[in-house]
Amino acid sequence: MRKFVGKLISDNYNRTEAKFFSSSANRCQMTLQVALAGLYKPVDWADWDVSGVLPWSPVPYTIDDPMLRMYSVKECKNSDKVWKPIDDDTLPSLKEAKNRSAALLAYVGKETGWNMSSLSRAADFADNLIEIELYNASYPEWVSHPTLEGYDEKKLVKEALSFAEIHQIACADYEPCRDLMSGVWLKHILTTISDVQNGKGPQLAGYASHNEITLSVMKNLGIVKDELTTSAGFVLEFRMKPMPSVRLLAHDPNPIDKHVIYKAELIPELADKAAVDGFISLEDFEAHIKSKASIFRLEETLRDVERLHSRNSLNSKLHEATKQCQHFFVILNLCFSDYAFACALRFQKHRRFFFHFVLICKVG
């Protein structure tokens, strides 16, 4: 990450250069803390441990659930509404998955004693298989030698793993949920870029969030992505020369735990406008964002979101969420200004939980 960021920021943390944000989840905060420990290896005055045993320097960050964990904001009743058809498995895709694997789900329920009426339990089973594989342990006998007709170990495991993160992925695929989960974060990215352009913002902003949130952001940016694997992510670049343009990149791990960045697969309306190097004119990218604006109350939403984020405490944000949550998704439609540069990189996940670290940065 430090190599990617380069000289955009100093070796040691400087609050005028960088800002970082996390959801309230402990696991998410720890992911951000680990990432920042690697980003800011202390040198000179910041190296407080003269023994050299702990080459680490604390970096502050802000907790913001309305932006990075909307589904946990209890005051937002619309969150419950958009999640209900997912939690109840009534979306067509979830119904189909449940019907298609009815025999397997019944078999797993019989062997585990679990109530498999919800696909969330199927996802739990998939997570267990992932953990077993991660630690190179052996599958239970009923998995390695299934008695379910038509299944061997390979087929059973493959089908079971298809349920991993199924509700989170369903949220990112279901427009009402996708827009509500990603809206505040997208607006914050745009606001940060605007601040940078006006000389008020940081060189770098980082976000630690969750699978359904980050995947929703990627989809609404125009990236074709069905799921996120361990340490996968995206990069969003904006440059002024030779002309204002945007490039969306994908970021994935390779089998030996290194990372590669490459041109992302884009939705057709963006891909058709991309140059050979992947850059899209800012005008075309703005048109993509503006195309969503007509069905939303743009000005009202902008005022609501700005009021929400002007609060100094998390409690006041949660209090305001009751009024604002129904409008969060509209921020997808805010227009880009002539931004100087932005890049976003999400690269960290802890085991089966998806936590994402995203960077927004500026170059000359």
Average pLDDT, the chain: 79
The answer to whether position 285 is within a domain reads yes
Q: Tell me which of 141, 162, 183 is where a domain ends.
A: 162
Whether 147 and 179 map to the same domain: the answer is no
With H, G, I as helix, E, B as strand and everything else as coil, classify residue 359: strand
The answer to whether position 297 is within a domain reads yes
Bridge partner residues of 353 (DSSP): 350
Give the global pTM.
0.79
Q: Is the pLDDT of residue 292 over 80?
A: no
Q: Please state the length of the chain.
A: 364
Average pLDDT of span 301-311: 46
DSSP per position, 104-158: HHHHHHHHH---TTSHHHHHHHHHHHHHHHHTT-PPPHHHHS--STT--HHHHHH
CA distance 38 to 19: 16
The answer to whether position 92 is within a domain reads no
The residues, ordered by sequence, that sit 6+ positions from 200 with a Cβ below 8 Å of its Cβ are none
Taking a C-beta distance cutoff of 8 angstroms, is the pair 142, 160 a contact? no
pLDDT single digits (tens) 210-262: 989 989 989 988 999 999 876 677 877 777 778 777 788 888 876 655 678 88
The answer to whether position 352 is within a domain reads yes
Whether 35 and 134 map to the same domain: the answer is no
pLDDT single digits (tens) 162-216: 999 999 999 999 999 999 999 888 888 777 777 777 778 788 888 888 989 989 9
For the chain, how many structural domains are there in total?
2
The answer to whether position 236 is within a domain reads yes
The residues, ordered by sequence, that sit 6+ positions from 304 with a Cβ below 8 Å of its Cβ are 323, 324, 327
Q: Is the pLDDT of residue 341 over 90?
A: no
Q: What is the DSSP letter of 59?
A: -
CA distance 218 to 234: 7
Q: Is 324 exposed, middle or buried (0-12, 13-18, 19+ CB in 10 A)?
A: buried
Residue 226, domain extent: 2-78+175-361
